[in-house]
Amino acid sequence: MPADTDGGLPPVRRFVTGHDASGRAVVTMDSAAPNRAVRPHGTVSTLIWGTDQTPAEICSDEDFGARDNVVQPPRQGSWFRTVDFPPGSPGRMHRTDTVDYVVCLTGRINMEMDDGLTLQMTAGDVMVQQGTNHSWINRGDQTCRIAFALIDALEPPGGERRGPGACKPVAPWPLDDAVDARFPPIRRIVTAHDMAGRAVVMLDGPAPRRELRARGNVSTLVWGTDKSPADIWRPEDIGLRDNDIAPPPLGSWFRVIDYPPGMTGRMHRTDTVDYVICMAGEIDMELDDGAMVHVTAGDVMIQQGTNHSWINKSTEPCRIAFVLLDAKQVG
């Protein structure tokens, strides 16, 4: 695609899957995500999808990405968007009562928090933001594209923004040396509040819960929620929970999966809305009746409880971030 003159990057390619009249899994949309808004200072916000209830609706014909592109998601709902931050983007301090799952896709960017605390994200880093003050500042020379999944969360108990503060990270689960070399650990940043109510970094380091699956893919659980609205006021590292396929009832999972070259597929489905972000490489996704979709780095997808199988026919690994939201059963 040609470069986007607003943000310097091509538009985001969006796939949406659903079901046809016979109940077969099909691709219902495949095009550049259309709901783009140019913000002050040149940032480009593209609304990809959203939900407005928990469990989420997966049998509607509505294009949820066509809704008003406002910052806060609906109550008991979510937003999935990308934002392009051009060089020199000055930032704006803000916060929402949400848990945000964040994936840096291109470039690098600084995030400022309370008291001038600043950290830098680069392409491939992921973040969990728990209702904290923050401002995105691009001090680099290229546009930075970030994917965000915002999930409605509880307001602070008693109105006081108190949290666990900085916590000691857990070392990554060891894998075979050859597997580690092919799939390096993922940097995971988690923000929270300290007891004085300041926004702080709770965790910053390799995401620890990595597991090698039978077909050679590596699944890393980043974070999760287990109620709606989500609880963002406790000290638990939710990324250490059992890495089950489906998220908890009324909850969500945020995970990253690495698919090795030549990996064969496995047809499966969950009663979830899946926000899918291809971080690196390329991969094929098979649906019912042999229908295939080819996904490359930077593409995003919405899966609505559909049968699918991931097949890596390329000679390079593919890394994909998944946000799974509990949804109503199909049919």
CA–CA gap between residue 268 and residue 130 (Å, rounded): 31
Report how far Cα 198 is from the mean position of its chain's Cα atoms: 25
Q: What is the pTM of this model?
A: 0.96
42-94 pLDDT, tens digit per residue, is 899 999 999 999 999 999 999 999 999 998 999 999 999 999 999 998 889 99
pLDDT band at residue 149 using 50, 70 and 90 as cut-offs: very high
Q: Which residue has the higher pLDDT, 325 or 4?
A: 325
- Token pair in block for residue 77: 């709902």
30 has a pLDDT exceeding 50: yes
pLDDT band at residue 150 using 50, 70 and 90 as cut-offs: very high
- Token pair in block for residue 12: 């985001």
Report how far Cα 296 is from the mean position of its chain's Cα atoms: 16
* Domain segments of the chain as ranges: 13-326
261-286 pLDDT, tens digit per residue, is 999 999 999 999 999 999 999 999 99
2 has a pLDDT exceeding 50: no
Report how far Cα 64 is from the mean position of its chain's Cα atoms: 17
81-110 pLDDT, tens digit per residue, is 999 999 998 889 999 999 999 999 999 999
Count the Cβ atoms, other than its own, within 10 Å of residue 168. 7
- Token pair in block for residue 83: 């934002």
112 has a pLDDT exceeding 80: yes
Long-range contacts of 52-56 (CB under 8 A, 24+ apart): 52/76, 52/77, 53/77, 54/228, 54/250, 54/325, 54/326, 55/249, 55/250, 55/271, 55/326, 55/327, 55/328, 56/272, 56/273, 56/325, 56/326, 56/327, 56/328
Fill in the amino acid letter for 223: W
- What CATH number labels 13-326? 2.60.120.10
Averaged over 190-219, what is the pLDDT?
96
Fill in the amino acid letter for 70: V
pLDDT band at residue 226 using 50, 70 and 90 as cut-offs: very high
The pLDDT assigned to 330 comes to 79
Percent of the chain residues topping a pLDDT of 70: 98
The pLDDT assigned to 41 comes to 79
Among residues 19, 21, 1, 20, which one has the least CA distance to residue 11? 1
Fill in the amino acid letter for 197: G
In this structure, what DSSP letter does residue 197 have? S
Averaged over 218-240, what is the pLDDT?
97
DSSP secondary structure letters along 52-73: SSSSBP-S----GGGS---SSP
CA quadruple 296, 40, 120, 232: dihedral positive or negative? negative
